[in-house]
Each structure stands twice: as structure tokens, then as C-alpha cells.
């Protein structure tokens, strides 16, 4: 699993960095300004940040790698970088729901009602994060004037342009790829030696506070193995009448908080630090806090409405 993730990360980071440099060399943002103008105007973010959000919809790692390279090149500021990362939460979750098997698996294993509600709530929590990042961006960043060319040049990717993008990418990749491999591998070793158990204990008081049956702890443990295992345990509990639909949804939301924590510790910290350097620590703290807060708001709504 770790080797597979390392391989995927290296490939996607490379794609993202190369893509960022090609974007700069071809001046694609100015040619696509009619497409990104509404989002730029709404957020006061530069066109390059908006384009990285579109990339994030297809691949979170590639999109963030693109953003990191733009930051390294001085194309965007620190604030613009952080805001874009938080704002990218909804595209990431939407992309995972559309292009991966998590949403179909939830609908099939948990049933259309519980599975459907859980998918919508995940999207809602992600939308909360994107919305407050958008609001903050609109308030904190100065207004941006977008100029649209009446007769834009024809978009062509010449061989020399691609070569320049590849050449410009090499120094960055030479620095971040070794750091990425070392940090992911080191954190993986820590998780294999008991760190995962500590994460589970951290969320135990929340289970008790919400009055969720102790049997649901098995589902949370299953989430550590694979999300489908957690789905299967919850699905069987629902079928046997051990838990209610409300308890199932609350357990799934808490399980998602545990999974997010695990992902941040195992992958995101190393990814952000290797891509953004010192800024990566700040991005990790802000994005994780934002994610946990949005989940707690979502859990509060479930307790209130169901």
C-alpha cells in the first residue's frame, strides 16, 4: 500500500509541477480568461489559482503540485496559496465522488438512503470549507481586474515550449521528490508502530458524547483497513437492527474524521511540506482545522435535523 502510494504521488507531483511550468511558458491563463473570469472576480484570486482548482477536480495531488510550483516561481502569494488550497476542498471531494468508487460503494453497501445522505453530507462539509475560503478571499484580497483579449492567439503547445517547461521543472523535482519519499516512508513506519491506535483513542470521547453504541467502534476500526470494510460493518448493523440510520450516519461522519486525520498524518503532512516547504506546515494546520470544524458543523446538523 505504501509503495503504491509513493509511486502514485511521485507521478502526480511530477505531472503537476510540469503542468505549472508549461502553463507559465504558454501563458494559458490569459487565453482562458473568459472561462475563469467569474471565479477570479468572485474570489479575487489570480487566473493561475483558478486553473489549479480545475486540475484538483481530476487529481488533488496534481492540482496542489501545480499550485506549489506557481508559489515557488513567485506567480502567487502565500495568502493566495493557502486560500486556494482550502477552496479546493470541494473540487477534491466532488472529484473523488465522481471519478472514484467511494460514492457507488456507499450507495450499494449502505443502501440508497443512508449511503445517499452520507455522500451529500460529505459534499456539504466540503462546500462549507470552500465557501468560507471564498468569503475570506473576497474580503482579504484586493480586487482583481481581468482583461479579456478580443482576438486571443491560437493555443498551441510547441515542442520548444514543452521542453522549456520540462527543463524548468527539473530543479524543483530534484528537491521535492526525495523529501516526499523520505517523509512518507518515515510516517508510514510510525503508523506501523502504534500511532494508529492513538488516533482511534483520540476520537473515543466523541463517540461517548454522542451516545453511539459501542458496537460501532468495530466499524471505525474497519475504516482504518479500508473505507469499504467500515461500510460493510455499518451495513450489517443496519440490516440486523443493531443501530438506527441516524447512528449509522453519525458513525460514518466520525469515521470520516478519523480517516481524514490518518490521511493528514500519513500523507498530507509529507506532501505539503515537500511541496511548499515551511508554508506546508501552516497549510496543513489551517486545512486540517477547517476540515474538522466543517465535519463538526455537519454532525451538529444531523443531531438537530434527524
Q: For residue 157, what are the contacts with CB-CB under 8 A and spacing of at least 6?
A: 22, 26
Q: What is the pLDDT of residues 147-169, one digit of tens each?
A: 544 444 444 555 666 666 677 66
Nearest to 212, CA basis, from 252, 178, 152, 240: 252
Could you tell me if 231 and 109 are in contact, meaning their C-beta atoms sit under 8 angstroms apart? yes
Q: What is the pLDDT of residues 118-139, one digit of tens each?
A: 989 999 999 999 999 999 998 9
Q: What is the pLDDT of residues 154-213, one digit of tens each?
A: 445 556 666 666 776 677 667 667 766 665 566 556 556 555 555 556 556 666 676 666
Q: Given this model, what pLDDT does residue 155 score? A: 46
Q: For residue 149, what are the contacts with CB-CB under 8 A and spacing of at least 6?
A: 30, 31, 33
Burial of 208 (0-12, 13-18, 19+ CB in 10 A): exposed
Q: What is the pLDDT of residues 238-269, one digit of tens each?
A: 777 877 888 888 888 888 887 788 778 777 88
Q: What is the pLDDT of residues 33-58, one digit of tens each?
A: 455 677 778 888 888 788 788 777 76
Q: What is the pLDDT of residues 68-98, one digit of tens each?
A: 888 988 888 999 999 999 998 888 888 766 5
Q: Given this model, what pLDDT does residue 152 score? A: 47
In this prediction, residue 279 has a pLDDT band, given cuts at 50, 70 and 90, of very high
Look up the pTM and report it.
0.71
Amino acid at each position: 500500500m505504501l509503495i503504491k502510494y509513493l509511486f502514485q504521488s511521485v507521478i502526480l507531483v511530477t505531472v503537476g509541477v510540469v503542468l505549472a511550468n508549461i502553463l507559465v511558458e504558454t501563458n494559458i491563463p490569459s487565453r482562458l480568461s473568459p472561462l475563469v473570469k467569474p471565479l477570479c472576480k468572485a474570489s479575487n484570486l489570480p487566473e493561475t489559482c483558478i486553473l489549479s482548482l480545475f486540475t484538483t477536480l481530476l487529481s488533488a495531488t496534481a492540482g496542489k503540485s501545480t499550485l506549489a510550483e506557481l508559489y515557488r516561481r513567485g506567480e502567487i502569494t502565500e495568502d493566495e496559496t493557502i486560500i486556494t488550497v482550502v477552496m479546493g476542498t470541494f473540487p477534491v471531494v466532488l472529484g473523488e465522488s465522481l471519478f472514484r468508487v467511494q460514492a457507488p460503494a456507499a450507495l450499494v453497501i449502505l443502501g440508497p438512503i443512508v449511503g445517499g445522505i452520507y455522500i451529500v453530507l460529505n459534499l456539504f462539509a466540503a462546500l462549507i470549507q470552500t465557501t468560507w475560503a471564498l468569503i475570506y478571499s473576497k474580503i482579504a484580497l484586493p480586487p482583481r481586474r481581468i482583461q479579456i483579449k478580443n482576438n486571443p492567439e491560437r493555443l498551441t503547445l510547441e515542442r520548444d515550449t514543452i521542453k522549456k517547461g520540462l527543463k524548468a521543472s527539473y530543479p524543483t523535482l530534484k528537491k521535492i521528490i526525495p523529501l516526499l519519499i523520505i517523509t512518507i516512508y518515515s510516517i508510514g513506519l510510525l503508523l506501523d508502530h502504534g500511532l494508529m491506535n492513538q488516533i482511534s483513542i483520540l476520537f473515543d470521547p466523541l463517540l461517548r458524547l454522542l451516545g453511539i453504541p459501542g458496537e460501532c467502534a468495530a466499524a471505525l476500526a474497519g475504516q482504518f483497513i479500508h473505507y469499504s470494510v467500515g461500510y460493510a460493518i455499518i451495513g450489517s448493523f443496519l440490516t440486523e437492527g443493531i443501530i438506527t440510520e441516524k447512528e449509522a450516519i453519525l458513525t460514518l461522519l466520525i469515521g470520516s474524521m478519523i480517516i481524514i486525520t490518518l490521511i493528514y498524518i500519513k500523507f498530507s503532512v509529507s506532501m505539503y511540506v515537500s511541496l511548499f516547504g515551511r508554508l506546508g506546515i501552516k497549510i496543513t494546520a489551517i486545512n486540517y482545522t477547517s476540515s474538522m470544524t466543517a465535519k463538526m458543523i455537519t454532525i451538529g446538523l444531523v443531531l438537530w435535523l434527524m
